[in-house]
Structure 1
Amino acid sequence: MATNGHKRKLTVRLCGPRGFCAGVDRAIQIVVLALKKYGAPVYVRHEIVHNRYVVEGLQERGAIFIEELNEIPDTHRDRPVVFSAHGVPKSVPADAENRNLFYLDATCPLVSKVHKQAMRHQRLGRHVLLVGHAGHPEVIGTMGQLPEGTVSLIETVEDAERFSPPEGMELGYVTQTTLSVEDTADIIRALEKRLPTLRAPSAESICYATTNRQEAVKEAAPGADLFLVVGAPNSSNSRRLVEVAERAGARRALLVQRASEIPWAEIGEIAVLGLSAGASAPEIIVDEIIDAFAERYDVTVDLAITAEERENFPVMRPLRDVELTKSDMAFVNGVS
């Protein structure tokens, strides 16, 4: 990292867009605003977004994270519960209503759009194919919008080639919002080749933020000695960015949650570092990683910007009268 007392030069190709998307920003806002309006504790079903820094920051403010509604004590049934940005099956709000719980649904509007597309297919008499990853909260939520037996999960091209459609039924598909654009296109091509009457959703399912972040990584990855993606291991969109970086020409790509996870001893000699962040990763960690490299290298930052994002998803009406402090806004925006 240094020669003769001098730091080696390192070019950091910093991707843009990166980090928080509008859906993540809205979900975090909802929890912070609920804490301001109703006080602590506010319960959150599942991680509001897949990022440890965000979750721990909300816990410090008074959020309590649970996996199921039955974890809320009877003495706290008057407390708000927030559903995560990934979406939930229809059974979850129904359960909340049966328990007389006050809930706030922070499902990303683009995930809600996929729910509506899937329900429209089913309403028109089509068996629904969901392209996505088994066990992901978004997939569980989308499948949970439909009656049992009316939706089939397709994870791979091999699944598409093996799928046996229900006899006499029309078919329609939707996709998880955080998939690899290229992998998804391959799966859909395989489905359409076998099932020429397969109906597409009325609008693109993969969200703008996923597409934009992948395009920026493709721009920055060629020739990079190392590509780091800031994100959690359970973040689908972050893991896809690692795959995209490797396919686009990065010599090596890694997923890290904090600068402390960078394997300095294994990096070797590098001259070009690619850097991006998944849609649930705050900008403060990107800064932390750049600072960590600047301690060891003579760093120059080059921007790889492929799009400008201006999307903004408003929070629900009951929270719109709450004002946030500068400190709250910095946290919501991922910069503190």
Structure 2
Amino acid sequence: MAVVDLRSDTVTRPTEAMRAAMLAAPLGDDVFGDDPTVQALQERIAGLLGFEAALFVPSGTQSNLCAILAHCGRGDEYIVGQMQHAYRWEAGGAAVLGSVQPQPIAHAADGTLPLAEIEAAIKPDDAHFARTRLLALENTLGGQLLPFDYVQAATKLAADKGLARHLDGARLFNAATAQGADAYAEARRIAQCFDSVSVCFSKGLGAPVGSALCGSREFIARAHRVRKMAGGGMRQAGLLAAAALHALDHHVARLADDHALARRLAEGLSGIAGVHAQAPHSNIVFATLSGAARERGAGLLPWLAERGILATGLYQLRFVTHLDVDAAGVDRAVAAVRDYFAQA
């Protein structure tokens, strides 16, 4: 039985065309700075998003770490949302490795950080306080698109207060696809609200490994030093950069298919008694259980796994669509959930 893996869009396998691009990639040693494919990727993503330079790194976690430590010094702080990846899911790296204090803020229902709360969190210039240096946002956040008007307002507030602005854009192209018809243009429009942007290639774009951090040349030079300290220097990294380049060329337009499948999944789940699926903005579907369904919910994920349907449920049920999932797989998942709750 074929597995329908809805745990994350990180589980994708390289397509045959992507594998061919990886095999054909010219290589060098990126630690020496002479891998031509890495150089091509860095130039491509920086130019695409409107920045001077970019840095290829192994993961989004390392990209955010490099960004925060390049913007902030020991004793500084960054403002961040309670549920953002850089704060909640990255092992406290900025605090542990850089002595940079996070100042987390609770999200509004739409995933935004209230502007008044951001402003109130900015510390005065006083020796009693950590120095507030940076506002970090994430888009998409849990699959939710941050409204562009909000992004503009929040980043303007930060700039007016003298703060740098970083975007964890792990799924930036999903956000751009949800925001408008031209995903490349929309990604650039979002990115230009920030001083630095991290983009992940190994999620919806379907590459096996890698992220890029974009910013000014001076900023990327500082981030490069952090990457070295964090062990992120890779040698013949062009093998991986070639996959990312292929993804930028061939996998951006198809993100709309993932979004359509997520809507199909959410609609199907919402037709099951006791299952309430949030209408997705992009490719991530969250669902909650109520009544009798909630009472039986603990056995759902193991039951699905036995039938080749994989999902996660740390806080809520989470299903993620991607290039290795098709309409038949989505329908099979919905049918399996329905069958589980239809049991006597």
Fold conserved (TM > 0.5)? no
TM-score (norm. length: structure 1): 0.34
